[in-house]
Amino acid sequence: MDLSLLPDIFALAVFIVGFRPLARRVGWYANLWFLGWGFLLVRQIALLFDLPPGLGHTIAQWVALWSLALCALTFMVVSANVPSKQIERALVVAVGGPVLFQAALTVIGFQKHWVQYVAVALFLLPLVQVLLARRSRPLLFLGGAFALFAVCMIPVAVRHADVVANGSISLVFLSAAYFYLLSAQRYTRGVVAAVTGLASWGLTYPLLLTLQRIFPGVQVRRSLTELPEYLVVAGIMLALLEEHVLRTERMAMHDPLTDLPNRRMFEERLIATMEEARETRTTVACLVIDVDNFKTINDTLGHTAGDQLLRALAVRLSWHMSPRDILARTGGDEFTALLAGVSDEHHLRFIAGAMMSAGSVPIMLDGQAVDVRISIGIALSPDHAEDIDGLRRAADAAMYSAKRRGGSLLAFAGEE
């Protein structure tokens, strides 16, 4: 037994156990990372048994090489399918089938030339599948990379089957790095570390092979070749933690029904905007928007229909917001809008009127057109109030004034 692998096995097992709770919190795709590390643990255990030549040795080598290939394929799938699904099962089979078949031939030591050539030709399947399915450019790049690999491996397919097998696994790791970089919504430290680790992992075997050809007597320590694995571990953990923190912060600052900012985020933005307005001597408008007879709609059509109405109304009101403005859901059927840098009252009346028109168009709820009416109360700073609480109270009072006059109106603070 190769006892030098025990520390690596123990460290990887501890990581997997610690990674599991995070995988449950982040989402389904984190389970695929968990599965990939599981394959790597199986590989390390298989390499632990340094058996003499024979059936047991062949099986251990087979398990080790297949586990590494399955680890790479799993990483490629999860990298390409987050946040949106890009790699279908047919393409996974087209990529993984030739890789696993070549690995099996390498371990068995099959010497038939025609079989080796067929195995290399199978690496054309990803390109064929992508072309037939008319996939996106990144997948076309993947298919082209494997096709180019097949062409380059024809001269060495018979004498150096291990080069083809390990080279194909390296290409899968490089593909995982490529897809992870493309799918990243932001380039955080975790993403950079994970991409660098996956790319380094894919380049390890070609670099070692080149080094052995140039300097035959040089032996590279295993700890150096395993550095990319630890880099990927650190990168993935950090990226998932960053994503979890961002999701938690978003949940704390956004309304789960409409995905609009909630009252807490609105108040923070209002404070910052009013401070800026004081310095620049500009006008800030606060609009309180309430749905007329929302309780009647809820009672007659049900709470599900009421939720649909609020989501549709949130979208319609957002149409008239500029990047500097903010629209928030601050109550059951109440929305509050903050308009920064309003030029004059006519401009404000135009925007509020457009919101009133968009919000008053009938909405389809469960196949039934429902008339919607909204009331809007408007207050300006510094005209109607100079502090945050005063501005909110003035806009709220104007909204209730509009409701008292029959609703479906917009009213300015101080109007009767």
Question: Cβ contacts of residue 166 below 8 Å, gap of 6+?
Answer: 205, 209
Torsion angle (degrees, nearest 10) of CA 350, 352, 354, 359:
-170
Place of tokens 């404000």: 348
Name which of 149, 234, 144, 148 is nearest 191 in CA terms. 234
The rounded distance, in Å, linking the Cα atoms of 342 and 361 is 26
The rounded distance, in Å, linking the Cα atoms of 416 and 405 is 9
Catalytic residues: 333
The rounded distance, in Å, linking the Cα atoms of 359 and 407 is 13
Strands (E), 268-320: 284-291
The rounded distance, in Å, linking the Cα atoms of 266 and 301 is 30
Angstrom CA distances, 43 to 22, 31, 198, stand at 23, 19, 17
Binning the chain into helix, strand and coil, the percentages to the nearest 5 are 70, 10, 20
